[in-house]
Amino acid sequence: MRLTFCGVRGSTPAPGAGFLRYGGSTSCVAVQANGQPVRLLLDGGTGLTAASRLIDGPYDGHLLLGHLHWDHTHGMPFFAAGGRSGSRVRVVGPGQEGPLQSVLERAFSPPHFPITPDQLGAGWSFRGIDEGTHQLGDFTVLAREIPHKGGRTFGYRITSGTSSIAYLSDHSPTSLGPGSDGLGVRHDAAMELAAGVDVLVHDAQHDAAEFPEVGYLGHASASYAIALGREAGARTVALFHHAPDRTVDQVDALLTPVKNDDINVIATYEGLVLELP
């Protein structure tokens, strides 16, 4: 698999010179399998606009949402490849109380927005899923519910061939308790998703020193992501969903404690490409 990170911020975009090296667009990762075109997009934040530049012609694939917060959906109306004639954009996300399209319409409809989801194009479809294993084109996806404030949230384990990634873009492990080290519980769903993966893409919105004051926001620390990756046997931990006010130097500082450590840790940035074996 090939992963291309199109947006790596959380909560809200982060424009300005202090954020340029990592980028200011919100969550979106493009996934390719076996040398194929992009057929899977993880989340539809404002980074989805950049994903269009990786796609020749109309998009024919899935858009997999971890949850329905604005920073994971606001790029959808601006996804140029999804508006091209012949596009097939299959939006999949955690099942809700009511059809997924209807729930999305609460955010995408007048007077809050000029159009509704059914006006995105004839090729758009919407489907809610439950926990379990799902086949999305060339990708096998294991969905597990994980704690995150403000609505049902899934983490995913995605495999194709011998490659595997875990995607926990928004995760609040401290809501289940502090765990043995105060970083949050390494609970069963997180451990199952991350076990032995090539890459663990994980919420790193906070620094551990910022807790407990920021715990109410529903996110994890970079230290938790690294600890989870180490205990689950992930080969690489990719820190993701950077706080919108975290400057380049401050993101760099998150990596200082793990330099020359026993696990490979990277901080994701817009345009980063990871080639999995």
**Per-residue model confidence (pLDDT) at position 259:** 63
Cis peptide before 111 (omega within 30 of 0): yes
**Strand pairing category for 163-168 and 28-32:** unpaired
Q: State how far the Cα of 182 lies from the Cα of 74, in Å rounded to an integer.
A: 33
- Which residues 6+ apart lie within 8 Å of 273 measured at CB? 2, 3, 4, 5
Judge whether 243 and 203 are in contact, CB under 8 Å.
Answer: no
Q: Environment class of residue 5 by beta-carbon count within 10 Å: exposed (0-12), middle (13-18) or buried (19+)?
A: buried
* Integer CA distances (angstroms), 53 to 63, 107, 255, 259, in order: 16, 26, 30, 34
The DSSP line for 104-158 is HTTTSSTTTSSS-GGGS-TTEEEEEE-SEEEEETTEEEEEEE---SSS--EEEEE
Question: Which of 46, 45, 16 has the alpha carbon at shortest distance from 248?
Answer: 16
Q: What pLDDT is recorded for position 260?
A: 57
- Domains, in order of start, for the chain: 2-275 (3.60.15.10)
Provide the pairing of β-strand 124-129 with 88-94: parallel
Q: What is the pLDDT of residue 35?
A: 86
Q: For residues 158 and 139, is the Cβ–Cβ distance under 8 A?
A: yes
> How do residues 105-144 score in pLDDT, each as one tens digit?
998 999 999 999 999 999 999 999 999 999 999 999 999 9
Q: What is the pTM of this model?
A: 0.96
Report the C-alpha gap between 231 and 163 in whole angstroms. Answer: 19
Tokens 């992963």, residue located: 3
Tokens matching residue 197: 């993966």
* pLDDT < 50: residue spans in the chain: none
Q: How many CB atoms lie within 10 A of CB 147?
A: 20
Q: Which two tokens stand for residue 222?
A: 């970079």
Structure tokens at 186: 């390494």
* 239 SS3 class: strand
Helix, strand, coil share (%) of the chain residues, nearest 5: 25, 30, 45
Cα distance between residue 171 and residue 204, in whole Å: 9
Beta-carbon count within 10 A of 105 CB: 17
